[in-house]
Amino acid sequence: MGDGVARVLVVDDNEVIRQLISVNLQLEGFEVHTAVDGEDCLARVGEIRPDVITLDIMMPRLDGWVAASRLREDPATRGMRVLLITARAQEDDIRRGRELGVDAYLTKPFDPTELIRLVRELAENSRAEQAG
């Protein structure tokens, strides 16, 4: 199977949510890796090379905003799809996410079906871009 599987990096400081997202994606056949905050995400993203990163916003050390902007600044990670997951989906948050180049937005509490749909869509976009 190997390369046919899309890789997802799940970044959340809450272990319960991290597990919830991971299990849902693993059941759908994704290869899932996890990170506990933005710093952990940036430290591991080079070796994992995920197609999609699900990124919580409110995290200690390095929040989702900073992590997303660093991912976009680095040519090596610029093309990775970023799905922001947040409890606060105010209009200014969504606008800020758009300015950072975030690919999609999901509000907590989320429907796992919606999570899977978004991740699959982003992974397919990412792979199509790499192939073409």
pLDDT (tens digit per residue) in 19-46: 999 999 999 999 999 999 999 999 999 9
pTM score: 0.93
Proportion of the chain above pLDDT 90, given as a percent: 79
Mean pLDDT of 104-122: 94
Find how far residue 126's CA is from the centre of its chain.
12
What is the DSSP annotation of 6-70? Answer: PEEEEE-S-HHHHHHHHHHHHHTT-EEEEESSHHHHHHHHHHH--SEEEEESS-SSS-HHHHHHH
Classify domain 2-127 by CATH number: 3.40.50.2300
Q: What is the pLDDT of residues 78-104, one digit of tens each?
A: 999 999 998 877 888 889 989 999 999
